[in-house]
Amino acid sequence: MKKDFLWWRDGIIYQIYPRSFADSNNDGIGDLPGITSKLDYLQDLGIDAIWLSPIYPSPDVDFGYDVADYTDIDPKFGTMRDFERLVKEAKKRDIHIILDLVLNHTSDQHPWFIESRKSKDNPYHDWYLWRDPKPDGSEPNNWTSVFGGSGWEFDPDLGQYYYHMFYPAQPDVNWRNPAVRQEMLDVFRFWLKKGVDGFRLDVFNEYFKDADFRDNPPAIGIRRFDWQKHIYDTSQPEMYPLLKEIRSILDKHKDAYAVGETFLANPEQTASYCRGGDKLHAAFNFDFANCRWHPERFMKALNQWYGSLDENSWPNNFLSNHDMKRAATRYCLGEEDQRAKVAAAMLLTIKGTPFIYYGEEIAQRDIHIRRKADVLDPVGKTFWPIHKGRDGCRAPMQWNGEVNAGFSQTAPWLPVNADYPRRNVARQISDPDSVLNFFKKIISIRKSEPALQNGEFKALESQESFIMAFERSLEKDRLLVVLNFSSRELSFDLPVGEWASLINPGQRLSGTMAVHPYQVAILKFNT
Ligand code: NOJ
Ligand code: CA
C-alpha cells in the first residue's frame, strides 16, 4: 500500500514533440519558449511531467533522434537560457521535466563521428562500430537496418564499414569502449545538474551488440529486417549492469526517473529491465498500445504486463507516441470522439503511470500524407507506399481556429490537420462535452482518489464481452471502473453494496447497472 504522492508513479506524463507544440518566433517550428508559454494550459490540464522529444543540436535526418551534441540546445528550439527558464517555470507549477536521451547512436555530424572516420588510429575511431570487410569485400556480417537495407555502410577512405541500426546518418556508438561509457554517463549528470527530473532512453536495449559480431540466424518475415532473429544485434546481457550504474547516478537525485524504450522486445523482456527496483523505473510496453478496439485485448495485454513486473516495479501505459498512428486515428469512427473518451478513461484509471501524447487530450487525428513528395519522415520516404512514415502523428498542435490553428503565424513545418477549425483547444475548452473537458474531469477524479493512482488492480468478469470492468483499491477505498466499448446499451452486475458515481455526483447505484453506449462509469464503494 503506497500513499505518498510520487510524481512519476502517481502522476501523469505528457509527451511533447517540440517541433509541433507551439512556435514562439514564427519560423514554422515549435520551440522551447513556445512550450513555456503553454505551461499554464498544461497545469490546468493536470499533468505532472513533460517528456520532451529530443531538443539537442541535430541535422534532423531523423528529426532530433540524430544528435550532434548531447549537452546543448538546438538553436531552432532556443537557447540554454530558454531551457533553464522552461525548467524553472515548470517547477513553479509542479511539472517535472523528462529529457529524451538518444545514446545508442549519434548523428554522423557529431564531432565524435567526424573524428572517428578520419583514420583508424584516431582516438575516436573505436567510439563507433567499425569493422573490416570480409575478404571478398562484403559486409562484416548479415545485420540489417530497421530503416531498410544493410546495417553496414562502407567508408571508402577508411576501407571499413560502420554499423547503424537506423539510418546511415545515425552510426551506433561503441558502448564497450570505457571512454564512451564514461562520456554517456556524464550526459545524465549534466542534465540532472540543470534540474531535469528524468530521462526517456531511446532504444536502450540496443546499446550493446554481440562482442563477436556473429551473424543473426534466419527467420520468416515480410520485411528484409524480419528475415532474421535479432539475437546478436539487440538485448545483450551487458545492459543489466549498465542500467544499475545509470540507476545509481539517478538515485543521487531526489526522485529522479528513467523510462526506457525497448526495441524488438516482448513484455517479459521489457519488464526484465525494470524488475528488482535497481534498474529502470519503467519501460514502454507496446503490446497494450497495439491492441485493437476490444476490452479483452486490452485486458489481456495489461494482465501480461502486470504479471511480468514484480513488487519492486511499477507499470506505465500509453496509447500514442511520435512513432505510431494516434489512438484517436486508430480507434475513433470518423470525427466521433466517444471512443477517445473511453480510451482516455481506461488509460487514466488502470494501474500504471499514464503517458499522454500532445493533442491526445483533444483527440487530435493524424494528418493524411497523400503524395510521396510530401513525406518528410525518411521512414516514409524509404517504405512508401507500404509505410507512409510517421509524419501523420507529428502535425502541429491545434490550439484555436485562427491561422495555422494558432500554432504559428508562418506555414508550419508539417501541415495542420484540415479539421482544426472544428477541433482545437479553444473550442473544446468552451464545450462541456468535449474530449478535453472529459480528460480534465477524469484527471481531477484521479487526483482526488489515491486508489486510482497507486491502488491495487483487480479485473472483474462481465457477461458482456464489450464491457471492461475493474476495481482499484487502497486501504479502505474501493473504486470501480466500468467502460462500455460498444455503441450498444449493455448491463453490468455491480459487486454487492452501494456505489456512488464520481462522474455524476449524487447518483447511487446497486444491483444491475445499465451501461449506456460508450459510457464511462467511475464508482466508489459507499462504506
Ligand atoms: C525510437 C524513436 O522513438 C524513433 O522516433 C527514432 O526514429 C528511433 N528510435 C531512432 O532513434
Ligand atoms: Ca520557432
Dump pLDDT digits (tens) for 68-123. 999 999 999 999 999 999 999 999 999 999 999 999 999 999 999 999 999 999 99
69 is catalytic: no
- Ligand at minimal distance from the CA of 37 is 2
**Among 23, 74, 261, 360, which one carries the catalytic annotation?**
261
Residue 271 pairs in a beta bridge with: none
* Nearest alpha carbon, ligand 1 atom 11: 65
Q: How far apart are the CA of 74 and the centre of ligand 2, in A?
A: 11
Residue 363 buriedness (CB in 10 A; 0-12 / 13-18 / 19+)? buried
Q: What is the pLDDT of residue 4?
A: 86
State how far the Cα of 490 lies from the Cα of 488, in Å rounded to an integer.
Answer: 6
**Among 10, 82, 202, 391, which one carries the catalytic annotation?**
202
User: For ligand 1, what atom is nearest to the CA of residue 104?
Assistant: 11
Beta strands 490-493 and 499-501, pairing class:
unpaired
- Ligand at minimal distance from the CA of 23 is 2
State how far the Cα of 506 lies from the Cα of 63, in Å rounded to an integer.
Answer: 50
- Ligand at minimal distance from the CA of 106 is 1
Which strands sit side by side in the sheet containing 130-131, from one edge to the other? 130-131, 160-163, 152-155
Pick left, alpha or beta for residue 201 (phi over 0 → left; psi -120 to 50 → alpha; otherwise beta).
beta
> Which of 15, 65, 262 gets mutated to test ligand 1 (max ligand atoms within 8 A of its CB)?
65
How many residues are present in the chain? 527
Residues 6+ apart with CB under 8 A from 60: 66
State how far the Cα of 464 lies from the Cα of 453, in Å rounded to an integer.
Answer: 27
**Residue 244 parent element (H or E):** helix 239-250
* Nearest alpha carbon, ligand 1 atom 6: 65
Q: What is the pLDDT of residue 403?
A: 98
Q: What is the pLDDT of residue 3?
A: 64
> Which of 167, 203, 318, 381 gets mutated to test ligand 1 (max ligand atoms within 8 A of its CB)?
203
Contact 64, 58 (CB under 8 A): yes
261 is catalytic: yes
Residue with cell 557529431: 110
Point out the residues of the chain with pLDDT beneath 70. Answer: 1-3
Residue 248 buriedness (CB in 10 A; 0-12 / 13-18 / 19+)? exposed
* Nearest alpha carbon, ligand 1 atom 5: 323
Q: What is the grid cell recorded at 421?
A: 477549425
> Which of 199, 202, 381 gets mutated to test ligand 1 (max ligand atoms within 8 A of its CB)?
202
Contact 360, 341 (CB under 8 A): no
- Ligand at minimal distance from the CA of 324 is 1
Residues 6+ apart with CB under 8 A from 311: none
Q: How far apart are the CA of 242 and the centre of ligand 1, in A?
A: 21
Q: What is the grid cell recorded at 435?
A: 474530449
* Nearest alpha carbon, ligand 1 atom 10: 65
Q: Can you give the pTM of this predicted structure?
A: 0.98
Which residues does ligand 1 sit against, CB inside 6 Å? Answer: 62, 65, 102, 166, 202-203, 261, 322-323
State how far the Cα of 114 lies from the Cα of 406, in Å rounded to an integer.
Answer: 40
- In this structure, what are the phi and psi dihedrals at residue 83, rounded to the nearest 5 degrees? -65, -45
Neighbours of ion ligand 2 (CB under 5 A): 23, 25, 27, 29, 31
Contact 218, 229 (CB under 8 A): yes
The angle formed by the CA atoms of residues 387, 393 and 394, to the nearest 5 degrees, is 110
The 8-class DSSP code of residue 411 comes to: -
3-class DSSP state for residue 266? coil
Q: How far apart are the CA of 202 and the centre of ligand 1, in A?
A: 7
State how far the Cα of 377 lies from the Cα of 170, in Å rounded to an integer.
Answer: 14
Q: How far apart are the CA of 31 and the centre of ligand 2, in A?
A: 5
Q: What is the pLDDT of residue 1?
A: 47
**Residue 459 parent element (H or E):** strand 456-460
The angle formed by the CA atoms of residues 512, 341 and 495, to the nearest 5 degrees, is 20
Contact 141, 149 (CB under 8 A): no
Contact 107, 68 (CB under 8 A): yes
Per-residue b or e along 368-387, where b marks 16 or more CB atoms closer than 10 Å to that residue's CB: ebeeeeebebbbbebbbeee
Closest CA to 140 of 197, 207, 216, 82: 216
Residue with cell 520485411: 223
Q: What is the grid cell recorded at 410?
A: 508562418
Q: How far apart are the CA of 78 and the centre of ligand 2, in A?
A: 8
